[in-house]
């Protein structure tokens, strides 16, 4: 049920009206339809507020206990991609009808609650957030936890950028020691990441402990769906699973790597054939050699070859070492954003440069490019509400928000650069610059600008941007992740991505989400042979009248959830070449496509979803 409430849904302090005088929160405006409506009352006395964070396994809200008159944190079992709420007023979950989703619905909720009850074993560990109650409601499960005042490590990194090891060790050494005690008590976290480490005045606190244990349902589907990009080890993507303390070791090490570099590690399953994890980023930041060695052992893809315990990992990190220096520093350019985010699944983006006199084929540069790692709030904001992204600043400056950007232009020359341009190079050599003039954003370098492998969320939240000009100088041949890349660019009326090289891309989830003003989009040249995620790819592209995806190779795609959802102007679509043998979830794929009458399809599963498009 819902109710009137005289406390702020953002901070749960007493107020007379919004915006909140304590935290500035204002609930007026659109709320993501997958979260509980603010003001919902659970179990008779827990009032639900804003979203604090969302991981692979669930959504965490701030709450208020009406009985004990205190703030709480509410964790809702919500495995991403397998459950949904289709309206902003809905409380109950709608589960995908496939067998894997139904297994998670039964087995997963039971494990979720069972692990919460095991928390009593570790309630004497001060670094662990306590659990107060668990229950079933709204066709899912809930855990009530202590509310901890502080900032997530993720939000601190977004505000201040990467940390040196001398500062980071004060966070991680106590956290690792606490996790060793947790493992000794028989619990495995399975969801460690920067958004699950809270920094408080009394030290670090570990959030959501135990909520992820035993979620695998035997065939690996649920495990693959809840694995957290960049932080989860390989075994959490596989059918057999086999999680243990070594799984948390990997995730903790990946979190340290991200904290020290600002760059999200590549997905563990992408490292099997070709390991693109860049250890030079650590050496360039003078991280001690013993720390680098410890992280390398802890992030070994093979679980058997990896550091097996937190105790061993802690010992390796504390072994005396000296800074690891290079005579020649790799010229990485970091665009760091100052932004406050509720949670994050962190993703780093990047640009590189090749000279004008190099070959025209950008896929075959004669020398390594200078890379730019974009930590621009949005790349780390999978869990930030769509309506909040436009309020974030971007690319290492504090003067402009994403909503201030009217146009974006990429330029292969540094001539006539205004004095207002900000330096986005880590070396401070002004080799790549960005500036704003009357809302027009320019990114320039003397050469081709090449994103790093993770280009997710690059333009997400640029809600007032009407045009993006890549200027024939954007080389995407090394990009592996384009998820959420243009999400929320609702003012774009046209977008030329026909020159994109997508041959290495594995993730296109929500790539054009809510680009509601686009009337046409040429993706006919996209190479999707390696893509595994197409969920929400064209979600809410309400003005698209035609879309050529007939050449899409979907043989490796596992998720098509809401792929064409709310494409309400589409009149024709040819998916006769779609291979759905690997697809786990295609719920809501055509929901709202009410004008789609010219439909070509050879797959019975897709046909069944098409027949439900009116629902």
CATH number for the domain that contains residue 282: 1.10.510.10
Residue 580's contacts (CB-CB under 8 Å, 6 or more residues apart) are 554, 557, 560, 586, 603, 605, 606
pLDDT at site 225: 41
Residue 353's pLDDT band (boundaries 50, 70, 90)? low
pLDDT at site 613: 80
* Sign for the pseudo-dihedral over CA of 239, 245, 246, 249: positive
CB-CB contact of 485 with 513 (8 Å)? no
pLDDT at site 208: 73
> Are 390 and 348 members of one domain?
yes
Q: How far apart are CA 317 and CA 290, in angstroms?
A: 6
pLDDT at site 212: 44
Q: How far apart are CA 162 and CA 603, in angstroms?
A: 47
pLDDT at site 319: 77
Q: Which residues of 166-196 are buried (b: 16+ CB within 10 A; e: fewer)?
A: eebbebbebbbebbbbbbebebbbbbbbbbb
Q: Which residue has the higher pLDDT, 132 or 251?
A: 251
Q: How far apart are CA 378 and CA 387, in angstroms?
A: 12
Mean pLDDT, all residues of the chain: 81
239 within domain boundaries: yes
pLDDT at site 100: 66
Specify which of 223-227, 346-350, 364-368, 373-377 reaches the highest per-range mean pLDDT: 223-227
Parallel, antiparallel, or unpaired: how do β-strands 140-146 and 151-152 relate?
unpaired
Least confident of 50-54, 103-107, 258-262, 344-348: 344-348
The residues that bridge with 468 in the sheet, in sequence order, are: 408
Residue 218's pLDDT band (boundaries 50, 70, 90)? very low
Residue linked to tokens 């397998």: 82
Q: How far apart are CA 515 and CA 510, in angstroms?
A: 10
pLDDT at site 388: 60
φ/ψ (deg, to 5) at 17 = 180, 170
> Are 126 and 193 members of one domain?
no
pLDDT at site 117: 75
Please compute the mean of the pLDDT values over residues 362-380 and round it to a whole number.
34
Distances (CA, A) of 569 to 131, 548, 593: 47, 14, 7
Examine the pLDDT at 231 and tell me if it is beyond 90.
yes
> Are 449 and 356 members of one domain?
yes
212 within domain boundaries: no
> Are 131 and 112 members of one domain?
yes
Please compute the mean of the pLDDT values over residues 558-570 and round it to a whole number.
93
pLDDT at site 506: 94
Q: Which residue has the higher pLDDT, 356 or 547?
A: 547
Please compute the mean of the pLDDT values over residues 58-84 and round it to a whole number.
89
Task: Among 101, 131, 146, give the residue marking a domain's end.
Answer: 146
Please compute the mean of the pLDDT values over residues 145-171 and round it to a whole number.
92
Q: Which pTM does this prediction carry?
A: 0.48
Q: How far apart are CA 133 and CA 70, in angstroms?
A: 14
537 within domain boundaries: yes
Q: Around Cβ 266, how many Cβ atoms within 10 Å?
A: 21
pLDDT at site 217: 35
Residue 544's pLDDT band (boundaries 50, 70, 90)? very high
Examine the pLDDT at 101 and tell me if it is beyond 80.
no
Please compute the mean of the pLDDT values over residues 282-288 and round it to a whole number.
93
Distances (CA, A) of 559 to 277, 393, 585: 25, 31, 5
Q: Where are the alpha helices (DSSP H) in 362-490?
A: 386-389
283 within domain boundaries: yes
> Are 341 and 300 members of one domain?
no
Q: How far apart are CA 48 and CA 62, in angstroms?
A: 6
Residue 604's contacts (CB-CB under 8 Å, 6 or more residues apart) are none
CB-CB contact of 79 with 56 (8 Å)? yes
Q: Which of 158, 163, 162, 167 is nearest to 398 (CA)?
A: 158
314 within domain boundaries: yes
> Are 454 and 347 members of one domain?
yes
Q: Tokens representing 33?
A: 């339809």
Residue 538's contacts (CB-CB under 8 Å, 6 or more residues apart) are 512, 513, 521, 544, 547, 563, 564, 567
489 within domain boundaries: no
pLDDT at site 332: 33
DSSP for 472-539?
T-B--TT--B-TTTTTT-TT-S----TT---TT--B-TTTTTT-TT------TT---TT--B-TTTTT
pLDDT at site 227: 67
9 within domain boundaries: no
Least confident of 20-29, 288-297, 521-530: 20-29
Task: Among 436, 466, 482, give the residue marking a domain's end.
Answer: 482
Number of domains within the chain: 4
Residue 119's pLDDT band (boundaries 50, 70, 90)? confident
Strand locations in 219-375 (E): 333-336, 349-354, 370-375
pLDDT digits (tens, 9 = 90+) for 160-196: 999 999 999 999 999 999 999 988 888 888 889 998 8
Residue 223's pLDDT band (boundaries 50, 70, 90)? very low
Task: Among 482, 498, 530, give the residue marking a domain's end.
Answer: 482
Residue 287's contacts (CB-CB under 8 Å, 6 or more residues apart) are 165, 260, 323, 324
Examine the pLDDT at 496 and tell me if it is beyond 70.
yes
CB-CB contact of 148 with 198 (8 Å)? yes
> Are 255 and 343 members of one domain?
no
Determine the distance from the C-alpha atom of residue 27 to the mean position of all C-alpha atoms in its chain, rounded to a whole number.
23
Q: Tokens representing 375?
A: 């930590």
pLDDT digits (tens, 9 = 90+) for 301-351: 988 899 999 999 999 999 754 444 433 333 333 333 323 232 222 223 345
pLDDT at site 187: 83
Q: Which residues of 521-533 are buried (b: 16+ CB within 10 A; e: fewer)?
A: bebeebebebbbb
What CATH number does the domain containing 122 carry? Answer: 3.30.200.20
> Are 141 and 165 members of one domain?
no
Q: Which of 8, 138, 136, 21 is nearest to 63 (CA)?
A: 8
Collapse the DSSP code of 371 into the 3-class scheme (helix H, G, I; strand E, B; otherwise coil) and give the result: strand
Q: How far apart are CA 340 and CA 479, in angstroms?
A: 27
**What is the extent of the structural domain holding 136?**
41-146
> Are 61 and 134 members of one domain?
yes
Please compute the mean of the pLDDT values over residues 559-574 and round it to a whole number.
94
The residues that bridge with 64 in the sheet, in sequence order, are: 47, 71
Q: Which of 262, 299, 297 is nearest to 282 (CA)?
A: 262
Distances (CA, A) of 554 to 330, 502, 534, 581, 598: 37, 14, 9, 9, 21
Q: Which residue has the higher pLDDT, 62 or 362?
A: 62
CB-CB contact of 215 with 108 (8 Å)? yes
pLDDT at site 110: 82
Q: Which residue has the higher pLDDT, 377 or 354?
A: 354
DSSP for 259-280?
HHHS-PPPPGGGTTTS----TH
Examine the pLDDT at 354 and tell me if it is beyond 70.
no
Residue 608's pLDDT band (boundaries 50, 70, 90)? confident
> Are 545 and 443 members of one domain?
no
21 within domain boundaries: no
DSSP state of 370: E
> Are 134 and 162 members of one domain?
no
> Are 138 and 156 members of one domain?
no
Q: Around Cβ 256, how many Cβ atoms within 10 Å?
A: 28
Q: Which residue has the higher pLDDT, 242 or 350?
A: 242
Residue 369's pLDDT band (boundaries 50, 70, 90)? very low
Residue 466's pLDDT band (boundaries 50, 70, 90)? very high
Residue 384's pLDDT band (boundaries 50, 70, 90)? very low
Distances (CA, A) of 526 to 486, 512, 521, 553, 589: 16, 14, 11, 9, 20
């Amino acid at each position: 049920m819902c109710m009137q409430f005289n406390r702020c849904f953002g901070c749960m302090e007493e107020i007379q009206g919004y915006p909140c005088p304590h935290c500035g929160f204002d609930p007026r405006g659109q709320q993501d339809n997958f979260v509980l409506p603010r003001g919902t009352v659970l179990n008779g006395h827990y009032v639900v507020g804003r979203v604090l964070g969302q991981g692979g396994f669930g959504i965490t809200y701030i709450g208020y206990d009406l009985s004990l008159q205190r703030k709480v944190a509410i964790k809702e079992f919500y495995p991403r991609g397998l459950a949904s709420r289709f309206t902003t007023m809905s409380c109950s979950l709608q589960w995908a009808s496939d067998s894997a989703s139904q297994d998670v619905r039964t087995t997963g909720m039971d494990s979720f609650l069972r692990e919460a009850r095991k928390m009593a074993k570790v309630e004497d560990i001060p670094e662990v957030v306590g659990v107060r109650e668990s229950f079933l409601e709204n066709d899912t499960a809930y855990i009530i936890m202590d509310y901890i005042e502080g900032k997530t490590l993720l939000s601190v990194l977004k505000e201040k950028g990467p940390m040196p090891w001398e500062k980071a060790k004060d966070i991680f050494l106590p956290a690792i020691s606490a996790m060793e005690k947790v493992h000794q008590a028989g619990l495995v976290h399975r969801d460690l990441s920067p958004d699950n480490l809270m920094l408080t005045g009394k030290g670090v606190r570990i959030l959501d402990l135990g909520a992820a244990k035993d979620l695998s349902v035997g065939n690996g589907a649920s495990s693959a769906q809840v694995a957290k990009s960049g932080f989860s080890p390989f075994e959490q993507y596989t059918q057999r699973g086999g999680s243990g303390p070594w799984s948390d070791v990997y995730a903790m090490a990946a979190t340290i790597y991200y904290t020290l570099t600002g760059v999200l590690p590549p997905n563990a399953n992408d490292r099997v054939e070709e390991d693109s994890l860049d250890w030079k980023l650590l050496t360039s930041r003078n991280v001690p050699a013993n720390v680098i060695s410890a992280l390398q052992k802890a992030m070994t893809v093979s679980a058997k070859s990896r550091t097996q315990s937190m105790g061993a990992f802690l010992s390796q990190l504390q072994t005396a070492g000296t800074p690891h220096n290079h005579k020649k520093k790799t010229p990485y350019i970091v665009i760091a954003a100052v932004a406050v985010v509720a949670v994050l699944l962190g993703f780093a983006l990047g640009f590189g440069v090749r000279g004008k006199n190099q070959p025209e084929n950008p896929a075959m540069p004669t020398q390594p490019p200078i890379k730019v790692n974009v930590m621009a709030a949005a790349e780390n904001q999978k869990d930030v509400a769509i309506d909040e992204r436009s309020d974030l600043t971007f690319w290492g400056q504090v003067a402009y928000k994403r909503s201030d950007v009217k146009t974006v232009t990429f330029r292969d020359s540094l001539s006539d650069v205004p004095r207002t341009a900000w330096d986005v190079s880590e070396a401070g050599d002004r080799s790549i610059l960005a500036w704003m003039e009357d809302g027009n954003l320019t990114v320039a370098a003397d050469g081709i600008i090449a994103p790093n492998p993770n280009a997710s969320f690059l333009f997400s939240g640029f809600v007032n941007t009407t045009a993006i000009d890549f200027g024939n100088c954007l080389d995407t041949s090394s990009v592996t992740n384009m998820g959420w890349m243009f999400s929320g660019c609702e003012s774009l009326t046209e977008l030329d991505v026909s020159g994109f090289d997508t041959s290495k891309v594995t993730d296109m989830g929500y790539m054009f989400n809510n680009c509601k003003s686009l009337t046409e989009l040429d993706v006919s040249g996209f190479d999707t042979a390696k893509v595994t995620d197409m969920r929400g790819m064209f979600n809410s592209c309400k003005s698209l009248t035609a879309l050529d995806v007939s050449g899409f190779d979907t043989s490796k795609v596992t998720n098509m959830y809401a792929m064409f959802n709310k494409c309400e102007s589409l009149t024709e679509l040819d998916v006769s070449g779609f291979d759905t043998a690997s697809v786990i979830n295609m719920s809501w794929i055509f929901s709202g496509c009410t004008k789609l009458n010219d439909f070509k399809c050879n797959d019975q599963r897709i046909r069944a979803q098409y027949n439900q498009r009116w629902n």
